[in-house]
Amino acid sequence: MTDHPVGSTAAPEAPAPKPPKPPKKKRRWLRVTLWTLLTLGILTAAALIVAYVTTPIPKANERALQQNSIIYYSDGKTVLDRFATVNRQSVKLERVPEQVQKAFLAAEDRTFYQNSGISPRGIARSVWVGLRGGPQQGGSTITQQYVKNYYLTQERTLTRKFKEIMISIKIDKEVSKDQILEDYLNTIYFGRGADGIQTAAQAYFHTSVSNLDVAQGALLASVIRGPSLYDPSLGPEQTTLAKGRWEYVVDGMVEKGWLSQAERDKLKFPKVYAAAKTTGLTTPNGFVSEAVREELKNKLKLTDTEMALGGLRIVTTIDKRAQDAAINAVKTAMPEGQGTEDLHVGLAAVVPGDGAIRAMYGGPKYGSGEMGYFNTATDAGMQAGSTFKVWTLIAALEKGLPLSTRFSGAGPQYLPQFASDEPGASAAARAGMVQNFGNGSYGVLDMATATALSCNTYFAQLNIEVTPEQTKLMAQKAGIRAWRPQKILGTNYANVFGTDLVRPLDQAAAYATIAAEGKYAAPYLIASVKGAGGFDINYKAKPKVKQVFKKAVARDAIQAMHRVTQPGGTAPGASSIGRPVAGKTGTTTNNYSAWFDGFTPGQLAAAVGMYKGDASLKPENQMVGIGGYAEITGGSVPLNIWTAFMGAALQGQPIAQLPPPGNVSGATPTIVSTVPPYTSTTSTPPSSTSTSSSSSSSSTSSTSETPSGSGSITDIPTTPPPTSDTTPPPTSETTPPPTSDTSTPPNQSPTTTPGTTTETTPAGATGTTAP
């Protein structure tokens, strides 16, 4: 206590201020919030407990019943093929090397033996993405993946994720970790049709699981992230991804102490064997099955895993009667004997106005030999030959030129638009010489007659009149597209003679456009897809149809193409099926490819294309002097196959009549050009004595591509080429005619004089494409 002076009085100390009392309302709000959160917590916990108790563990074998995917014919009942059937050999965990087990843990769940079966962080991320409307992502534990693959569907929803969590917690409590890992390794999908690690070891390394080393195990652990993305045999992109994932796995093993750094440094990325095709068919239908798989990938965006494990029920557009007819037609009509071993044919048939593919022949034996995986109906590109003339015909009709439009059919003619400036071109080529087949010369022809005769000199002039750009445009509108290695259709004047590479499926769809009176329909193979439990999918095809030509134009084109199949045309044998038909033959120079494309109006359009060997333009690939034919042309074997196929495929169907003429621009004849005929029909100027000619070349069989007479054709040839309507096919010793359907391109082999006729192949074209 402080001393004070005598007589002074000490002042009393002031009391300390009291703190303010908190508002009663604020304290009440805090209590309410706390109680609310507590109540919600209790309710959530109770709900989780109820969900845990009430969520049953499904029977383990339910998934196995849902794996088998089946492909049906168009009737939806008859099985065409089965793919992605279960390919599993379960093994005990002790047979899996410990280092391989650790590789899977490093890849998918490094805390597997410590966690409770779920990953809270992964679950939170999945829920957040789901609430935002994004796709469900990975991050699941091995237990969760096992539950999803073995007990649940592949559905990507929060509901399925919740079930997965509940069952995973239950499984983790009731089943040992070793048993979970064993079941996981036996059920996970590795691609290549392999379910489980044993079949995966066989598929990728041709060995048993017990023989896998750590590098191989790390690759298999990488592949399961996405077989179509991480299988190194599928391409350089997949190899790069696989190597990156493989390094992540082995580095993870080092991080966890399961592999020393020294051991890691010695590891090399393992080599794998090429993937084998998984379809079970080795017959021609195997090509259909593989085409179905490709459409599932490209159109429905299904992955390999979804196709393999989805239990899909796929109904195709393939009609069994038509498909059987295609196989039998090729089998019975293809030549046999010396030189025929490497003949190839592709066939496709499409419904006009719909696009449904009713039949497809891509080869005799799927999965065997060099051509075992090459579908000649969808992969082979061949020069179209005279089948391309119909697009110039349609271009003229679209321009308003009627079928009565006349040009001289004399031959040869010299047209500057067809002149060649290629190095080494002959004087005739530089002069733009155009010849008819067999050096034939015709009078003044109308458009329908020129189509029936496949007169080159007429169509050369017609293409000049309409322009090659319009010919290209009409082909594109109908569904024709350039095929490998070409990128776009050509616009040179010779495109009228089919110098572009096209494939049978596109030819069939394009001719179906004409048969549908100008309506193009995109071809499709899958009518519907349903998931049998593995996936929630219910797909039904919707035909994509568009009117691309005027109806009157298509009707007049049908009239002209019908003349091709009548006496005097290049394919009178087509009418043998007993129905009104229309079509066009085509054969390239030196018989490197041969076609017949045709249809019954509104019912079915089919294209048949043939080639030999590896399809390159070299003498050994010329279809001459083989199988009893002096030469194979569009009017011989392709036509025989087409008639046999169409007759059987349409058996029992109503007979469709031709539509009435379109009468484009009325019926008044229009003379666009009257070039006088060349004075000689049997010889050529001295500068062109080694030339090839172009037309629909003559056949050595009764279904000749040469006009078969002149009874119904006006403006008959002044000196017609010799015909062989009644002559049987000569033997292989018979010398073939020196010319064929198209001319030799300027840059082709020295067996013919370069560049002398109309069939100038665009730079880089090789005639056809083959594997």
List residues with catalytic annotation.
Answer: 108, 386
Number of H helices, E strands in the chain: 23, 20
- β-strand pairing of 406-408 with 343-350: unpaired
Give the residue from 379, 509, 525, 377 showing the smallest Cα distance to 81: 525
Q: Supply 685's token pair.
A: 């100027």
3-class secondary structure, 412: coil
Distance CA 718, CA 259 (A): 89
Distance CA 333, CA 335 (A): 6
* Helices assigned H by DSSP within 66-176: 98-108, 120-131, 142-150, 158-174
Contact 573, 701 (CB under 8 A): no
- Residue 63's contacts (CB-CB under 8 Å, 6 or more residues apart) are 149, 150, 151, 187, 534
Residue 156: other Cβ atoms inside 10 A: 14
The answer to whether the bond into 485 is cis (omega within 30° of 0) is yes
Contact 328, 496 (CB under 8 A): no
Count Cβ atoms within 10 A of the Cβ of residue 451 and give its class: 0-12 exposed, 13-18 middle, 19 or more buried: buried
Q: Taking each helix axis from N to C terminus, what angle separates 320-333 and 285-298, rounded to the nearest 10 degrees?
A: 130
Give the residue from 742, 663, 665 showing the smallest Cα distance to 697: 742
Distance CA 390, CA 459 (A): 10
Distance CA 444, CA 413 (A): 13
Distance CA 685, CA 677 (A): 14
Contact 477, 489 (CB under 8 A): no
Give the residue from 416, 451, 396, 389 showing the smallest Cα distance to 672: 396
Type of residue numbered 219:
L
Contact 437, 412 (CB under 8 A): no
Q: Supply 648's token pair.
A: 């059987």
Q: Which residue has the tokens 């010695």?
A: 266
CA dihedral 674, 680, 681, 683 (to 10 degrees): -140
Contact 650, 603 (CB under 8 A): yes
3-class secondary structure, 398: helix
Give the residue from 430, 473, 478, 438 showing the smallest Cα distance to 457: 438
213: left (phi over 0), alpha (psi -120 to 50) or beta: beta
User: Residue 407's beta-bridge partner residues?
Assistant: 445
Q: Supply 541's token pair.
A: 């095809």
3-class secondary structure, 173: helix
Evaluated on CA atoms 687, 690, 696, 699, the torsion sign reads positive
Distance CA 49, CA 44 (A): 8
Q: Supply 650's token pair.
A: 């349409």
Distance CA 102, CA 420 (A): 70
User: Residue 316's beta-bridge partner residues?
Assistant: 526
CA angle 70, 71, 74 (to 5 degrees): 140
Contact 94, 185 (CB under 8 A): no
